[in-house]
């Protein structure tokens, strides 16, 4: 499937359909936890997306906050760009504490 027919994170674009627009849903499961991608819903408006997200992804316990984002608004990295984007982060051992030597007997560093 060519990238231009698929939205940033993979959903089919909804322009040609009579279905409601696609929204991505993020849930926060507990105070202080990060918002995580849960899935998607179709909805006509933002409030409607919020209601559907509640019904589909927050039916029981845990969820304390919801984000809904129009699927088309998400810009995602392409699998082919993974090398240039992330490899530079993999060869810098000096970004980790194990890289450094500590004189024998010194504690609490």
Partner 1 sequence: MTDQKSPTSAPAAGSTDDAAQVAEFEARIAQGESIEPKDWMPERYRKQLTRMMSQHAHSEIVGMLPEGNWITRAPSLRRKMVLLAKVQDEAGHGLYIYCGTETLGIGREELVDQLLTGKAKYSSIFNYPTLTWADIGVIGWFVDGAAIVNQTMLAKASFGPYARAMVRICKEENFHKKQGYESVATLANGTPEQRAMVQDAVNRWWWPSLMMFGPSDKDSPNSAELIRWRVKRDTNDTLRQRFVDLTVPQARAVNLTLPDPDLRYNEETEHWDFGEIDWTEFHEVISGNGPCNRERLAARRKAHDDGAWVREAAQAYAAKRDAVTAA
**Residues at the contact surface with partner 1, assessed by CB under 8 A:** 1, 3, 5-6, 9-12, 14, 16-20, 22, 38-45, 48, 55-56, 59-60, 76, 78-79
How far CA 25 is from CA of 46, 65, 97, in Å, comes to 11, 11, 36
Taking the CA atoms of 99, 105, 107 and 109 in sequence, report the sign of the dihedral they define: negative
Q: What contacts 56, CB < 8 A, 6 or more positions away?
A: 25, 39, 41
CB of 95 to partner 1, least distance (A): 25
Of 64 and 81, which has the nearer Cβ to partner 1?
Answer: 81
Least distance (Å) between residue 65 CB and partner 1: 18
Closer by beta carbon to partner 1, 30 or else 39:
39
Helices (H) and strands (E) in the chain, counts: 2, 3
Q: Which is nearer to partner 1, 48 or 69 (CB)?
A: 48
């Amino acid at each position: 499937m060519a990238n231009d027919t698929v939205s940033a994170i993979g959903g089919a674009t909804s322009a040609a359909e009579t279905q409601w627009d696609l929204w991505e849903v993020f849930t926060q499961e507990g105070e202080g936890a990060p918002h995580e991608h849960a899935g998607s819903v179709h909805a006509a408006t933002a409030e409607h997306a919020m209601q559907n997200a509640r019904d589909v992804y927050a039916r029981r316990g845990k969820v304390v906050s919801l984000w809904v984002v129009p699927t088309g608004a998400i810009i995602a990295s392409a699998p082919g760009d993974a090398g240039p984007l992330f490899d530079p982060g993999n060869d810098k051992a000096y970004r980790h504490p194990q890289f450094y030597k500590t004189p024998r007997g010194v504690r609490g560093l």
